[in-house]
Structure 1
Amino acid sequence: MRKKFPLLTIVNTLIYLFIMAPLLVILISSFNSGEFLVFPPKGFSLRWYEEVLTGGRYTGPFLTSIKLAVLTTLFALPLGTMIAYAIQRFEFRLKNALQGLFLSPLVIPTLLFGIGLLIFFSYLGIRMFFLRLLLAHIILIIPYVVRTMLAGFSRMERSVEEASIILGASPVKTFFLVTLPFARPSLLASAFLSLVLSFDELVIALFLTGPGINTLPMTIYSDIQFNLSPSLAAVSSIIIVGTILIGLVGIGFMRWGKKT
């Protein structure tokens, strides 16, 4: 009979509480009825949620961040998937160098990455700020997709694909009808990471954005410096709840995929 370790359970619970405490503070502070961001709140009110949803200050940056995150995912997910499949299934010269190249953004500090991209895009003469942000996000997100999809493809036996080809399916048909359905959990995880990481990116936007382009993280960062009101907690709470809902939907799809 296995022994129970109540001390370990207590320690784990304290760790989880320590991690969740900042999120709970933000959620509770968002219902503050006062004019300033304080904890505990002085009263209960939904006025700051109303201001966030109808005031217009956060609407434009929110739509820009959503558009940027969706487009980044649409480009980074297929590119990262193909790169991961090529690395996992084929042997070719400079394979290790190619793998290191696509994983290098994971180890390069984002600050240096932003400076390098700013100099590079300026040299190329790319002055469309949204395009610069989109290209930077794609470059930044692809390594996460590659790492996730490498793990997904490595769990699949090559004999399954070989059996499909022996039965008459072409390699392309095998990839779309056999390989990708098997790696569906990794695809969903990659899409979730792409959306969240792109939506949340701040440092790159500070270097590459310009007049007329403002993302939600930039607006929040500016308000933290110059306008510390409970509306910050309200918009942050909306992001937290939205992220949790997206994660729950992704988990539901993953469970549905396993059953089917």
Structure 2
Amino acid sequence: MKITFSWLGAVNTLLYIFILAPLAVVIIASFHPGEFLIFPPEGFSWRWYEYVLTSGRYTKPFWNSIWIAIATTCISLPVGTIIAYALSRYEFRFKGVIQSLFLSPLVVPTLLFGIGLLMFFSSMGIKMYFLRLVLAHIVLTIPYVVRTMIASFSNLKRSIEEASVILGASPVKTFWLVTLPQVKSALIASAFISIVMSFDELVVALFLTGPGMNTLPMMIYSDIQFNLSPSLAAISSLIIVVTLAVGFLLAVFMQRKKRI
């Protein structure tokens, strides 16, 4: 079999290596048995994975990040889906302006966004750090949900929805029983993106949190400054592996659904 060289394939390969190489370095460095984070590691040990899983240092920040991500997704997913449906199905005045408004958090620097939210919450007297973070993350994740769902709604055949209405179903029932099942893959992808974006958010959290509320990215950032040990690589490796595994399983699940 003749193998042909492709410049596009070569460039794509180099891009993948460039993206994945830092992740590989982190995972390899996590097995260093010593007290300091170095690469390449001088030996092999599960010591720091055991420390991360049993010491309890990262437990509370981890669950804080998880609950914030879940609460964020539970709100941003339905809200973003409804917004995307309205933008893709209806024509109304200032539609372009409204669409740009919902997508604006994608272009506003996160640093400025964090400062603005800090001033806003302070003026409104909102002092609950968990609520602050959830509200901030909702604003940050809704644009991703809207973009994903608009693309999915635009590819749907409206004749199926029209047939449902002609047969007597109300618009709400049609949306719930006919439209949403057809965009199930996009809903799952939007939820996954929302959870990952919320879980990984650092800059806004630095402005909006306080005593008693620490997220996992904040803990990792603090340790990078004051406690640069292989435990950082270990906890980061766990996050990388779990994220990639969940993403792979979701991709397989959605691919099987398409075949069915």
Tell me if both proteins adopt one fold, taking TM over 0.5 as the criterion. yes
Which shows bigger deviation, 248-257 or 105-114?
A: 248-257
- What is the root-mean-square deviation of aligned Cα atoms in Å? 1.4
Which shows bigger deviation, 223-232 or 13-22?
A: 13-22
Residue number in structure 1 paired with 2:47: 47
Counterparts of 2:187 and 2:18, CA distance in 1: 31
Question: Structure 1 residue 149: deviation in Å?
Answer: 0.4
Q: What's the secondary structure of 1:22's corresponding residue?
A: helix
2:112 aligned partner, one-letter code: L
1:108 aligned partner, one-letter code: V
1:169 aligned partner, one-letter code: A
User: Normalising by structure 1, what TM-score?
Assistant: 0.96
Q: What's the secondary structure of 2:68's corresponding residue?
A: helix
Does 2:137 correspond to 1:174? no
Counterparts of 2:190 and 2:136, CA distance in 1: 17
Residue number in structure 2 paired with 1:67: 67
Q: What's the secondary structure of 1:40's corresponding residue?
A: coil
Question: Structure 1 residue 3: deviation in Å?
Answer: 9.0
Counterparts of 2:250 and 2:197, CA distance in 1: 15
Q: What's the secondary structure of 1:57's corresponding residue?
A: coil
Counterparts of 2:71 and 2:245, CA distance in 1: 20
Deviations 1:204-256 (A, max 9, x none): 00000000000000000000011000000000000000101110121122123
Counterparts of 1:231 and 1:217, CA distance in 2: 14
Counterparts of 1:13 and 1:162, CA distance in 2: 45
Question: Structure 1 residue 97: deviation in Å?
Answer: 1.6
1:183 aligned partner, one-letter code: V
Deviations 1:89-138 (A, max 9, x none): 11222221211111111110000000000000001000011100110001
Counterparts of 1:143 and 1:8, CA distance in 2: 31
Deviations 1:59-90 (A, max 9, x none): 11000001111111111000000000011111
Contact 1:184 1:257 in 2 (8 A): no
Counterparts of 1:197 and 1:256, CA distance in 2: 26
Does 2:84 correspond to 1:84? yes
The correspondence of residues 1-12 of structure 1 with structure 2, limited to 5 A, is: 4-12=4-12
Residue number in structure 2 paired with 1:256: 256
Residue number in structure 2 paired with 1:207: 207
Residue number in structure 2 paired with 1:29: 29
Runs of 4+ aligned residues of structure 1 deviating over 3 Å after TM superposition are 6-11
Counterparts of 2:213 and 2:8, CA distance in 1: 49
Tell me: CA distance 1:7–1:93, structure 2 relative to 1, closer, same or farther (3 Å): closer
Tell me: CA distance 1:173–1:256, structure 2 relative to 1, closer, same or farther (3 Å): farther
Aligned residues: 259
Contact 1:51 1:231 in 2 (8 A): yes
Counterparts of 1:17 and 1:120, CA distance in 2: 42
Counterparts of 2:210 and 2:198, CA distance in 1: 18
Residue number in structure 2 paired with 1:246: 246
Contact 1:65 1:199 in 2 (8 A): yes
Does 2:153 correspond to 1:153? yes
Counterparts of 1:189 and 1:140, CA distance in 2: 16
Deviations 1:30-71 (A, max 9, x none): 111111101110111111001101111111100000111111
Question: Structure 1 residue 8: deviation in Å?
Answer: 4.0
Q: What's the secondary structure of 2:69's corresponding residue?
A: helix
Does 2:134 correspond to 1:134? yes
Contact 1:32 1:230 in 2 (8 A): yes
Contact 1:105 1:143 in 2 (8 A): yes
User: Normalising by structure 2, what TM-score?
Assistant: 0.96
Contact 1:114 1:208 in 2 (8 A): yes
Gaps (5+ residues) in structure 1? none
